[in-house]
Amino acid sequence: MDRDTLLENMKTAVIEGNKQQAEELARKAVEQKEDLLDMIENGFVPGIQKVGDMWEKGDYFLPELIASAEAMKAAMNILQPEMEKIGVKARSTGRVVIGTVEGDIHDIGKSLVSSLLSANGFDVIDLGADVKLTLFIEKAEEVKADLICLSSLLTTTMLGQKRLLNMLSEKNIRDKYKILVGGAPVTRQWSENIGADGYAENAMSAVVEAKKLVDRKG
Amino acid sequence: MVKKKHTLTLTSHKKTIKAGYQERLSDALLRAGLPMNLFCGGRGVCGKCRVRVVEGRLSPTTENEKTFQAVKHWDTRSRLSCQANVTGDLKISIPPESLVSSVLDPGRAGIPEFPLNPAVKTYLISFHPPTLASPLSLEEICKKSLRKKSIRFVPDVLGKASSHLKDEAEAVYAVLYKDRHVLDIGFYETVYGFAVDLGTTTIVLELVDLVTGKTVAADAFLNPQTRYGADVLSRITYASSPEKNKELQDMVIQEVNRKVSSLIKKYGIRQEAVFEFCISGNTAMNHLFLGLPVQTLASAPYHALFSTMSDLSASSIGLNGNPQARVYIVPNIKSFVGGDITSGLTAVELLKEKGRFLFIDLGTNGEIVLKKGVRFTASSTAAGPAFEGMNLSCGTLAVPGAITKIWHDGKIRFETLDGKKPSGICGSGYIDLLAVLMENGLLDKDGKLLTESKRIELAEKVFLTQKDIRELQLAAAAVKTGIGILLYENRLSPKDLDAVHIGGAFGSYLNIRNAQKIGLIPGLPISKIHFRGNTSLEGCRLFLLSYKTRNKVSEAVSRIRYLSLASHEGFQDRFIRALELG
């Protein structure tokens, strides 16, 4: 398969959320000794970008989004080890610590953001749900994160987002991280009130927002 | 104290009020006694508190307001009172739909038969005044007359009753509670009780004659706490301090008192003749009703302060009735499955029937209970208020003008409640609409609108958007996932069910076939699916009229297993799959 066909097929596999196809194409690229970085950046990445557009337009919904993210992830799982072997590093968009704040066991929205961030090239450390506020900070310090993403699905646990920001300020490390908040009851106004750096209304906008924040961080 | 230096003229109400500089407009309006509809708790996301600026200016338009202006085709003078601050003198008008008003008539469903055995009964007593030869005490006279030695009095009742000793000519009655405690002695040929369906959104009162068991009258009104948020959680958030907790309690108790007194006045009933209140509400609502803290309900591991509450005196929580009137709180199952579901299960007789049943109460939270033999599993899904019309561009409760039914005969047709001009779409209307669009190839199973415009117009300013469909998919998926997991955990499939009972919000408007078409309700033969209307109220009335049922129910409820869906390992996959319509 020539390069252009390969790239075109990769893009299509991600758009259609065809995991098996995405994996096969990744393997083929390895076999053919293609430039893997080129494959990712001009094949799979345009695919996931197109998925984002379709979400924006309302043509795609959560099931399609997840299938595409899964296909992307599966391809990356094949390509990354190969690239490491030859000493090429895929560009990481940024390092993210993510979780649902303590007192809140809702996982699904946060997990979705987590897999979309991975699909879009972020290194994601997903701490799960009902995560102690101190753990967010410990982990972010440990992995030198760029971004901390906080999810709350209850108006009651939203307060945890505010507390975390206060804790960071008290420790004088507030400026080390960009903080992105989200979850059904969270609004832009809330994120501004508590002094977060960004707010995302849905999983796809979380990716857009995260990219902006990391760029701004430089 | 901020100085209230600005004058607001309400052209719609021919009224002027004062407001402080930078004061939130909704705060100023609420203070002036205008019941602004703060459904979302003032977060600027429901768009229900719109005002229109006639003259003057408010603080700059927020992003949320701009969104509403765009989506709803409001002009730039339309603002959300919960978002805008007062910055100077102002003339505004408030459209009627921005104010909280009474909604809905209580539903009526076939109720199970049971022996009339209320906790409060009235007995005629014959007074034989004490004689010198045998100076019996009043207490002894009553016991003798009632032929019951075990009855108990409180001093107040005896004191009051002593005046009747002289009224030999009149029929005097003793009102007994559970055939044991004398609540009053006087002219009580009839006594009354109230069944109270304490809904998060709507409260329904039913005035019941405890002698005949007949319902005298009913009234339905909006829970006044809705001004602090449409859903349970925003109210829990509001009740963050003891003072605010008390405020929420006072608010609902006073509203119930007002409605009770206007209802009994209308039927010429004295307040003294009201002897019992049965309260059926979800766990948060009954906790707030009693003034109990609710914080533990909203944070993992989400526990309640009580399941079964001892009987209370009405006066202890400020309810007006006879000074000795009693209150029974229908027991909760767990934090997210409350007394309203206990009532529902009682109303549909699931606690005694044999077989495999599914009970679904569709409201803001969809509670689901599965019965398999003697085993019960209960669960609650965060369906969100979409089926109550919230978070949808033209959603509404079932109020006059709401589109309740939609069908297709070559063209999309609809019917509104009371035949009024269409003002919005209610839950049953949305379900019909999705089914109709699917049948006509305008909507695919993934929920994608296949029309060019991505928008379905029904009437002037009444439409459906792609985003609305997504909200509805999420709400339906939550219910579907809940049902799926309960069946799975009990190793049952839908066809194993003997019946599905549905209670709650939809009332009689829901079209079962359409609900099945979008996958909300399991695809069973229609003969197995029963609409039970307001089962919380039905069950509550049953508890009021048959108090022995109460003893059994506490025990039955304690055996119900609660299953947390959100922490179920299959939840995420099932939920995503359930998003597909059908």
The reply to whether B317 touches chain A by the CB within 8 Å rule is no
Quickly state the pLDDT bin for B278 (edges 50, 70, 90).
very high
The reply to whether B120-186 shares the fold of B6-98 is yes
Tokens of A164: 């975390």
pLDDT in tens, A175-218: 999 999 999 889 999 999 999 999 998 888 999 999 999 987 75
For B113, which DSSP code?
P
Complex ipTM value: 0.77
* pLDDT cut 90: percent of chain B above it: 57
Pick the CATH number of B6-98 from 3.30.70.20, 3.10.20.30, 1.10.1060.10, 3.50.30.30: 3.10.20.30
* Predicted confidence (pLDDT) per residue in B117-162, tens digit: 899 998 877 666 667 777 788 888 888 877 778 889 888 888 888 8
- In terms of Cβ atoms closer than 10 Å to its own Cβ (0-12, 13-18, 19+), residue B295 is middle
Regarding whether A205 and A132 lie in a shared domain, the answer is: yes
Mean pLDDT of chain A: 92
d(CA B215, CA B193): 10
Number of domains in chain A: 2
| Closest CA–CA distance from residue B227 to any residue of chain A (Å) | 16
**Is A117 in the same domain as A210?**
yes
Does residue B101 surpass a pLDDT of 60?
A: no
List of chain A residues whose C-beta atoms are within 8 Å of the C-beta of residue B567: 105
% residues pLDDT > 70 (chain B) = 93
pTM reported for the whole predicted model: 0.78
| A218 interface with B at CB cutoff 8 Å | no
| Cβ separation A188–B63 shorter than 8 A | yes
Rounded to an integer, the average pLDDT of B41-55 is 83
Tens-place pLDDT, residues B11-26: 998 999 999 999 999 9
* CA distance linking residue B509 with residue B398, whole number of Å: 9
Report whether pLDDT(B3) > 80: no
Q: Which domain holds residue A52?
A: 3-85
The DSSP secondary structure of B27-66, one letter per residue, reads HHHHHTT--B--TTSSSS-S--SEEEEEEEEESPPPHHHH
- Residue B456 structure tokens: 């379905």
Q: Is B61 on the interface with A (CB under 8 A)?
A: no
Domain ends where: A85, A109, A131?
A85
Whether the CB of B527 is below 8 Å from some CB of chain A: the reply is no
Sheet holding B424-425, edge to edge: B412-416, B402-408, B424-425
Pair A126, A204 in one domain: yes
Distance from CA of A23 to the nearest CA of B (A): 21
Grade residue B302 by pLDDT with cuts at 50, 70 and 90. Answer: confident
CA B23 to CA A164: how far, in whole Å?
29
Question: Mutating which of B237, B302, B573 best tests the A interface, going by the most A Cβ atoms within 10 A?
Answer: B237
CATH (domain of A50): 1.10.1240.10
State the nearest Cα–Cα gap between B49 and chain A, in angstroms: 17
Whole-number pLDDT of residue B505: 62
Please indicate, yes or no, whether residues A163 and A198 belong to a single structural domain of this protein. yes
pLDDT reported for residue B109: 40
- Cα B12 from Cα A129, distance rounded (Å): 49
Run of H or E including A94: strand A94-100
**Domain B192-329 belongs to what topology?**
Nucleotidyltransferase; domain 5 (3.30.420)
C-alpha to C-alpha distances, B66 to A201, B76, B80, B470, nearest whole angstrom:
16, 8, 10, 21
Instruction: Tally A–B CB contacts below 8 A.
Output: 78
Contact list in B for residue A155 (CB cut-off 8 A) is 41, 229, 233-234, 236-237, 298
| Digit-coded pLDDT (tens) for A126-169 | 999 999 999 999 999 999 999 999 999 888 889 899 999 999 99
Same domain? For A106 and A81 the reply is no
**Of residues B514, B513, B509, B508, the one with CA closest to residue B432:** B514
How far does B563 lie from chain A, in Å, by closest CA?
Answer: 14
| B166 pLDDT above the threshold of 70 | no
Give the model's pLDDT for residue A40: 92
- Shared domain for A100 and A61, answered yes or no, is no
What per-residue confidence (pLDDT) applies to B237?
86
Q: Say yes or no: domain B120-186 is CATH 3.10.20.880.
A: yes
Contact between chains at B466 and A62 (C-beta distance less than 8 A): no
Segments making up each domain of chain B, as ranges: 6-98, 120-186, 192-329, 348-582
Residues A120, A184, single domain; the answer is yes
Which residue in the set B233, B384, B567 is minimally distant from A154, CB to CB?
B233
Q: Can you give the CATH number for the domain in which A174 is found?
A: 3.40.50.280
Same domain, A188 and A112: yes
Q: Which of B390, B384, B377 is nearest to B565 (CA)?
A: B377
pLDDT the model gives residue B50: 93
* Whether residue A81 sits in one domain with residue A17: yes
Letter for the amino acid at B418? Answer: D
- Read off the pLDDT of residues B416-458 as tens digits, 9 standing for 90 and up: 988 999 999 999 999 999 999 999 999 999 999 999 888 999 9
Does residue A174 sit in the same domain as residue A125?
Answer: yes
In this structure, are A78 and A101 located in the same domain? no
Q: A 117-176 residues with CB below 8 A of B?
A: 130, 153-158
CA angle (A89, A90, A92) in 5-degree steps = 110
Contacts of A95 by beta carbon, 8 Å cutoff, 6+ apart: A122, A123, A125, A143, A144, A145, A146, A147
More confident residue, B285 or B30: B285
Is the Cα dihedral A117, A123, A129, A131 positive or negative? negative
Contact call for B64 and A153, based on CB within 8 A: no
Q: Which residues of A touch B572 (CB under 8 A)?
A: 107-108, 111
Residue of A nearest to B229 (CA): A155
